[in-house]
Amino acid sequence: MSKAHLLSGEIESRQVAMQVRRSSRTEHQSHLMESVIAVEQPERVRADQDYSKLGTIRELWDYRELFYFLAWRDMKVRYKQTVLGVLWAIIQPVFTMVIFTVVFGHMANISSEGVPRPIFYFSALLPWIYFSSTLNSAGLSLVSNSGLLTKIYFPRIILPAAAALGGLVDFLIGSVLLVGFIIYYDLRVGWNLLLWPALLVPLVLLAFSLGSFLAALNVKYRDVKYAIPFGIQLLLFMTPIIYPSSVFPERFQWLLALNPLSGLIEAFRYALVPSYKVHWDVLALSLAVTAGLFVFAMVYFKRTEKAFADIV
Amino acid sequence: MTRCIEIQALSKKYRIGKLQYDMSLREQLVEFAKDPFKRHGREDDTIWALRDVSFQADVGEVVGIIGRNGAGKSTLLKILSKITYPTSGSVRVRGRIASLLEVGTGFHDELTGRENVYLNGSILGMRKREVDKHFDAIVDFSGVEQFIDTPIKRYSSGMRLRLGFAVAAHLDPDVLIVDEVLAVGDAGFQKKCINAMDGLRSSGRTVFFVSHNLAAVENLCSRGLWIDSGRIRMDAPAKEVIVSYMGSFAGDQPEGSELSETQDRLGSGEIRYTRMEYLNPDGTPCALVRSGEAVVLRFHYHAEKTIRDPGFGFRLFSDMGTLITETSHRLNGILIPKVEPGDGYIDVEIDSLNVVPGQYQFSLWITGAGGAPVYDGDVRARLEVAVTDVYKSGRMLDSRHGLVYFPQRWTVAHA
């Protein structure tokens, strides 16, 4: 008797809950305009579908919140259950800088072109750490989120893009530290300091492009997972980070320029030290290579993304 | 009625087994260098998960998709949700789609319940302000408010499920695609799921629903789509489709069971069950045993010698091993003085099989007078009871309604 009574009470409360939901929809009507728009332009999934560029960009805009949330998740998770938390964003470049200064600067006596060694290394390490960690996290982003890929639709490019966005926080924290360096070393920075944030655009683009390409490749060939750390290690020595590009003879500069990171890293140094010698033609080539990589990576990603859920 | 989904000649091919690993990495790199965008792979080792599937659905339809494992149901849902792409054919969908192929997709262990509500909501296609607006209701629905700021790695699996479902229940799509979420969770959870989907239905949303829970399909869906080996085998009102679908299982339960070879049986063996049959009241073989209908159980036996005063009986167990009933002819006041050597059978007529649809097991026995000696015992035979509308109300029974039902009449009087 009492049980039956309880049950009917339960049902009533559920019905009330349903009614509340229904009425909330009607008062919601105004913001439902977006689905009304969608009604006029039916969404299609076709085997032979060729997305128009405009459609893709509009779709990315529709999914911007998911993009922020995924980047936010990556950041949140990165330092969860760590004692030092966000301090890691500072410890990593600072300690590396100290070691580089001692080992490469004082012991190996590699030239820093007259730039105070801590500045010389730190200004290159911040973009380098951003690049290498983004390459790694973006490159693994599709496979490590396979649960999402196989259960829900969203533009897949959001995953490597969110990884590229999430890494920026560490870069920004490091950049704040840089202000301290500028004051301590009494650097006469001028308008060239504006290059520091401006160079971030090609840097992010480069890391994102390469990361998306590797991510797409990693879905099919898991070799990529092992190749990335290895490649990063090699790249550290093939990029003017522990040495200035001037150690190369003039006629071999172009070789260095093929690595788009070279021109960028040197330009980051220039942003802090106006007297630092930059090969503008090398930077221009770096930017061109970056743009080329971006186009290649996006086309490759687009061509392969339809199969991600089937093979991941 | 406005057309909501149009699917034309949809086919999906999967490559099975090895994925062109017969090519060495070196060869692949050479191939890749020649043409990075070329699709590699051969035509063999492929399987058609879907073949030439076409159908339309209107706004407000609730379509239940049924079929055996591997028939292509999930592939169809994945194509509808744009997760995977068809090999050929096209899909047109009007309106906002939300797919719920799993409860709590994208939940991250390290994040708190609150953070996961936002993340999961965003993954399912809700805007942040929508989540803000429904947040209290979501937490309330989930019943985990105490732990909302605890990382969900400390949650029990039930709590996770409830939280995930609470978010999903506040989705407001035009088209909802649901896959087998009812397979998880306890009865209360399932009831909540069904109520929420019922709410969507009554507010005119289009729902695609895959489930092995045929009673739920029957209750919720106006239309049934039976997919068999990648093709649509039947597209009709849900109830008709379910009846035909259940009928197709008849081959799996060939009107009875051979018992001669049964292992692990007890008893001394002077008399043994050899076969069990399900018959219709008119004596024809019964291909489909239905809940609430008449059935005749025919037990065939073989006696080695004359058995005096034997007792035949059986127990009926649920698939969870609960004893539902034990009965015998003695219990019915029928005595069998003796059984001659050779073969024979015993019929048990049941006017109304009062168990809910599901899987059951018989355990048959033959004993002497007073329960000893045991001649034959614990002979297992399977019984599958199919869905029928026992209450003639259009509502189907399933395991959520218990094990048995009583034929009944309800009268409402105003005092």
- Between chain A and chain B, the number of residue pairs with CB atoms below 8 A apart is 128
Alpha-helical (H) ranges within B81-156 are 113-123, 128-142
Q: Give dist(CA B322, CA B378) in Å, integer.
A: 15
- Grouping H, G, I as helix, E, B as strand and the rest as coil, residue B66 is strand
Q: Give dist(CA B357, CA B396) in Å, integer.
A: 9
Q: Assess contact for A305 and A161: CB atoms under 8 A.
A: no
Q: Do B37 and A299 touch (CB under 8 A)?
A: yes
Question: Edge-to-edge strands of the sheet including B3-15?
Answer: A43-46, B88-93, B3-15, B46-58
B364 touches chain A (CB under 8 A): no
| Residues with Cβ within 8 Å of residue B204, at least 6 apart in sequence | B59, B60
Closest-CA distance of chain A to residue B405, Å: 16
Q: According to the model, what pLDDT value does residue A21 have?
A: 38
Residue B308 per-residue DSSP state: E
Residue B99 domain flag: no
Q: According to the model, what pLDDT value does residue A35 have?
A: 31
Residue B353 domain flag: yes
Q: Give dist(CA A57, CA A158) in Å, integer.
A: 12
- Grouping H, G, I as helix, E, B as strand and the rest as coil, residue B89 is strand
Q: What CATH code is carried by the domain that includes residue B313?
A: 2.70.50.60
Q: Do A148 and B106 touch (CB under 8 A)?
A: yes
Per-residue model confidence as pLDDT tens digits over B324-354:
999 999 889 888 998 999 999 999 999 999 9
Phi/psi of residue B285, nearest 5 degrees:
-60, 140
Residue B266 domain flag: yes
Residue B290 domain flag: yes
Identify the burial level of A117 via C-beta atoms within 10 angstroms of its C-beta, where 0-12 means exposed, 13-18 middle and 19 or more buried.
middle
What is the ipTM, given to two decimal places? 0.77
Q: Give dist(CA A203, CA A128) in Å, integer.
A: 9
Q: According to the model, what pLDDT value does residue A217 have?
A: 93
**Tokens read off for B202:** 């009554």
Per-residue model confidence as pLDDT tens digits over A103-127:
998 898 888 888 889 999 999 999 9
Q: Assess contact for B35 and A297: CB atoms under 8 A.
A: no
Q: Do B89 and A47 touch (CB under 8 A)?
A: yes
| Chain A residues touching residue B14 (CB < 8 angstroms) | 310
Residue B273 domain flag: yes
Give the residue from B373, B372, B401, B397 showing the smallest Cα distance to B387: B397
- Residue A31 above 60 pLDDT? no
E strand or H helix at A166: helix A158-166
| Residues with Cβ within 8 Å of residue A226, at least 6 apart in sequence | none
Q: Report chain A's mean pLDDT, rounded to a whole number.
A: 81
Residue B9 domain flag: no
Q: Assess contact for B224 and B211: CB atoms under 8 A.
A: no
- Grouping H, G, I as helix, E, B as strand and the rest as coil, residue B381 is strand
Question: Which of B19, B36, B99 minimises the CB distance to A152?
Answer: B99
- Grouping H, G, I as helix, E, B as strand and the rest as coil, residue B2 is coil
Residue B176 domain flag: no
Bridging pattern class, strands B342-350 and B256-258? unpaired
Determine the structural domain holding residue B331 and report its residue range.
253-401
| Chain A residues touching residue B119 (CB < 8 angstroms) | 69, 73
Domains contained in chain B, number = 1
Strands (E), B183-268: 206-210, 223-228, 231-237, 256-258
Phi/psi of residue B16, nearest 5 degrees:
-110, 170
Give the residue from B92, B48, B46, B396 showing the smallest Cα distance to B227: B48
What is the pTM assigned to this prediction? 0.72
Q: What's CA B170's distance to the chain center, in Å?
A: 25
**Tokens read off for B144:** 């985990």
Per-residue confidence band for A12, with pLDDT thresholds at 50, 70 and 90: very low
Give the residue from B187, B248, B213, B247 showing the smallest Cα distance to B397: B213
Per-residue model confidence as pLDDT tens digits over B69-84:
788 898 999 998 889 8
A45 touches chain B (CB under 8 A): yes
What percent of chain B stands above pLDDT 90?
A: 28
Per-residue model confidence as pLDDT tens digits over B185-219:
666 777 777 787 778 878 888 899 888 777 778 87
| Chain B residues touching residue A48 (CB < 8 angstroms) | 88
Residue B298 domain flag: yes
Q: Which residues of B132-164 are buried (b: 16+ CB within 10 A; e: fewer)?
A: ebbbebbbebbebeebbeebbeebeeebbbbbb
